Structure 1
Amino acid sequence: MTTVIAFILMFGLLVFVHEFGHFYVAKKTGMLVREFAIGFGPKVFSTVKNETLYTIRLLPMGGYVRVAGEDPEIIDIKPGQHIGLTFNNDGEVKEIIVNNKEKHPDAFVIEVEHIDLDHALTIQGYEINEDEKYSFRVNRKASFIMDEKATQIAPYDRQFSSKTVGQRGLQLFAGPFMNFVLSIVIFLVLANIQGVPVKEMQVGAVADNSPAQEAGFQADDKVIEIEGQSISKWEDFQEIVQESPNETLEMIVLRGEQQVPLEVTPALIESPEGDFGQVGVIQATEKSFVRSIPYSLEETYRWSTMILTNLGKLITGQFSIDVLSGPVGIYDATDQIVKTGFMNFLMWTAALSVNLGIINLLPLPALDGGRLLFVGLEAVRGKPIDPQKEGVVHFIGFALLMLLMIIVTWNDIQRLFL
Structure 2
Amino acid sequence: MLIKVLSIILVFGTLVFFHELGHLLFAKRAGILCREFAIGMGPKLFSFVKGETRYTLRLLPIGGFVRMAGEDPEVIEINRGQDVGLEFDHKGKIARIILTDIRNYPKAHVMTVEHADLERELVIRGTEDGQDVFYPVHPQAMVVSQNQETQIAPFDRQFGSKTVGQRAAAIFAGPLFNFILAFILLTVMGLAYGVPVDRPMIGQLVPNGSAAAAGLMEGDQVLSINGKPISRWTDMVSVVSGSPGRPLAFTIKRDGMTLEKRVVPVKDPQSQTGKIGVYQPLSKSLTGAASYGAKTTYDFSKLIYTSLGKLFTGQVPVKDLSGPVGIFNYTAKAAENGFVILLQWTAALSVNLGIVNLLPLPALDGGRLVFLGVEAVRGRPVDPQKEGMVHFLGFAFLMLLILVVTWNDIQKFF
* TM-score where L is the length of structure 2: 0.81
Residue in 1 that maps onto 2:90: 89
Give the AA of the match of 1:305. K
CA deviation after TM superposition for structure 1 residue 352, in Å: 0.9
Question: Which residue does 1:177 correspond to in 2?
Answer: 176
Change (3 A) 1:82 1:293: same
Q: Is the 8 A contact 1:3 1:335 kept in 2?
A: yes
* Matching residue within 346, 351, 366 for 2:348: 351
- 1:131-154 Cα distance to aligned partner (Å, 9 max, x none): 432212111111122222111001
Task: Work out the CA distance in 1 between the residues paired with 2:82 and 2:386.
Answer: 29
The SS at the match of 2:316 is coil
Deviation of the 1:84 alpha carbon: 3.4
Are 2:293 and 1:296 aligned?
yes
Task: State the SS of the aligned residue for 1:43.
Answer: strand
Say if 1:204 and 1:284, in contact at 8 Å, map to a contact too. Answer: yes
Q: 2:179 touches 2:297 (CA, 8 Å); kept in 1?
A: yes
Please say if 1:308 is aligned against 2:305: yes
Q: Distance in 1 between matches of 2:392 and 2:352?
A: 23
TM score, norm. by length of structure 1: 0.80
CA deviation profile, 1:30-63 (whole Å, cap 9, x unmatched): 1111001000000000111101100000011111
SS of the equivalent of 2:71 reads coil
* Pair 1:255–1:133, CA change in 2 (3 A): farther
Change (3 A) 1:135 1:13: same
Q: Could you report, residue by residue, the CA deviation over 1:77-132 in whole angstroms, capped at 9, with x for unpaired residues?
A: 343444333333333222223333344454444443322111110112235xx643
Q: Distance in 1 between matches of 2:133 and 2:279?
A: 79
The CA distance in 1 between the partners of 2:355 and 2:205, in whole Å, is 35
Measure the CA separation in 1 of the matches of 2:411 and 2:82: 55
Does the C-alpha gap of structure 1 residues 105 and 399 become closer, same or farther in structure 2, counting only changes over 3 Å?
farther
Q: Does 1:287 align with 2:286?
A: no
Is the contact between residue 202 and residue 283 of structure 1 (CA under 8 Å) also seen in structure 2? no
Is residue 2:46 matched to residue 1:49? no
Deviations 1:258-284 (A, max 9, x none): 6868877867xxxxxxxxxxx9x9972
* Secondary structure of the structure 2 residue equivalent to 1:363: coil
Q: Deviations over 1:228-272 (max 9, x none)?
A: xx997859x99xxxxxxxxxx9667967346868877867xxxxx
Task: Indicate the larger mover: 329-338 or 69-78.
Answer: 69-78
Amino acid at match of 2:181: L
Residue type at the aligned position of 1:302: D
Partner residue in 1 for 2:20: 19
Partner residue in 1 for 2:322:
325
Partner Cα separation in structure 1 for residue 54 and residue 124 of structure 2:
27
Asked whether the equivalents of residues 250 and 261 of structure 1 are also in contact (C-alpha less than 8 Å), the reply is: no
The alignment yields a C-alpha RMSD, in angstroms, of 3.6
The runs of 5 or more residues in structure 2 that have no matched partner are 207-215, 252-261
Give the direction of change, closer, same or farther, for the CA distance of 1:113–1:353 in structure 2 (3 Å limit): same
- Secondary structure, counterpart of 1:60 in structure 2: strand
Aligned-residue offset at 1:411: 2.8
Q: Which residue number corresponds to residue 406 of structure 1?
A: 403
Structure 1 residues 7-406: aligned runs within 5 Å? 7-127=8-128, 131-199=130-198, 256-257=250-251, 284-289=280-285, 290-406=287-403
- For 1:256, what is the secondary structure of its paired residue? strand
Distance 1:372 1:234 in 2: 44
Give 1:170 deviation, angstroms: 1.1
Q: Is the 8 A contact 1:205 1:283 kept in 2?
A: yes
Change in CA separation of 1:33 and 1:219 when aligned onto 2, cut-off 3 Å:
farther
Whether the 8 Å contact between 2:325 and 2:409 is mirrored in structure 1 is yes
**Contact 1:33–1:65 under 8 Å retained in 2:** yes
The 3 A distance-change label for structure 1 pair 407 and 40 is: same
Question: Which entry has the higher C-alpha Rg, 1 or 2?
Answer: 2
Cα deviation 1:307-366 (Å, max 9, x = unaligned) = 111111111112222333233222211221111111111111111111111111111122
Unaligned runs of 5+ in 1: 208-217, 239-248, 268-278
CA distance in 1 between counterparts of 2:187 and 2:163 reads: 35
d(CA) in 1 for partners of 2:202, 2:67: 51
- Distance in 2 separating the partners of 1:319 and 1:202: 42
Q: What percent identity do the matched residue pairs reach?
A: 49
Distance 1:44 1:234 in 2: 54
